[in-house]
Amino acid sequence: MTVLVFGRTGQVARELARAGGVTCLDRAAADLADPQACAAAIRAIRPQAVINAAAWTAVDAAEDHEELATTINGAAPGAMAGACADLGIPLVHISTDYVFAGNGTAPWRPTDPTGPLGAYGRSKLAGERAVAAAGGTWAVLRTSWVVSAHGSNFVKTMLRLGRERDELRVVADQIGGPTPARDIAAACLKIAETLRVEPDKGGIYHFAGAPDVSWADFARAIFAQAGIACRVTDIPSADYPTPARRPLNSRLDCSRTEAVFGLKRPDWRASLRDILTEIEEART
């Protein structure tokens, strides 16, 4: 199966490239700020499947640049989906828990009402709707709290700050599932391959690491595995204000994904060991 991946430097795109057998397009080859250029790339390459692993992910900056974020996260995936529909090939599009309002404590199901709290979530929801409206064969894979040894993420931030400080105040009222980028990449490939032969299995799916945890407890787990003696103090989100509101409840119900594709929630604790090892090897 020949797979075209939008994205090259992001966490999931890097893991897709590492898996092999894919063609990754960076911004120079297909700028998501130009949706029609993305569609043209698909028509020119004519792959057997497309995975969109590129996005505007700067959550706070989206508050001041919502129009551009919506072009990248909304219009571009829609254009990709249109080209894929014309060619009769599946598109797997990665989305986010930020499409939900984050209230309550129950894990969000794919069929639950959406209600994004900010510009980033609205832009990603626009992408989901544009992909669905284009017709064809598609899957939206919502995920949460992506981590890896690459790019900017919570694990790398905690390692840096934990080595610099004796104590960190970390938000404890936001709960979700840290998800290794490597597992998201594998899930996307599995879904794309399945949709090629069983297009009726398209739709919206959830995929997040287990067990669910707070940011504060996740930080403790990182320090424990890394052997860093940094104390974590729990704080509420109100004590750490940001331009964009974060959902308190990012739990995702992934049962449909397991039932349809056989993809179980990955244990982030096991993957964390691999991530820490890779980061340490890159430092030496």
Instruction: Give the residue numbers annotated as catalytic, written as ranges.
Output: 120
Task: Give the CA radius of gyration of the chain.
Answer: 18
Give the residue from 51, 120, 113, 118 showing the smallest Cα distance to 81. 51
- Report d(CA 279, CA 274) in Å as an integer: 9
Segment (H or E) for 231? strand 231-235
Measured in Å, how far apart are the chain's first and last C-alpha atoms?
Answer: 37
Burial of residue 25 (CB within 10 Å: 0-12, 13-18, 19+) is buried
Give the residue from 188, 156, 129, 219 showing the smallest Cα distance to 3. 188
Q: Are the CB atoms for 252 and 177 separated by under 8 Å?
A: yes
CA atoms within 13 A on the CB side of 8: 10
How does 214-223 read in b/e, with b if 16+ C-beta sit within 10 Å?
bbbbbbbbbb
Q: Are the CB atoms for 107 and 252 separated by under 8 Å?
A: yes
- Report d(CA 99, CA 118) in Å as an integer: 9
- Report d(CA 92, CA 266) in Å as an integer: 19
- The strand pairing partners of 97, in sequence order, are none
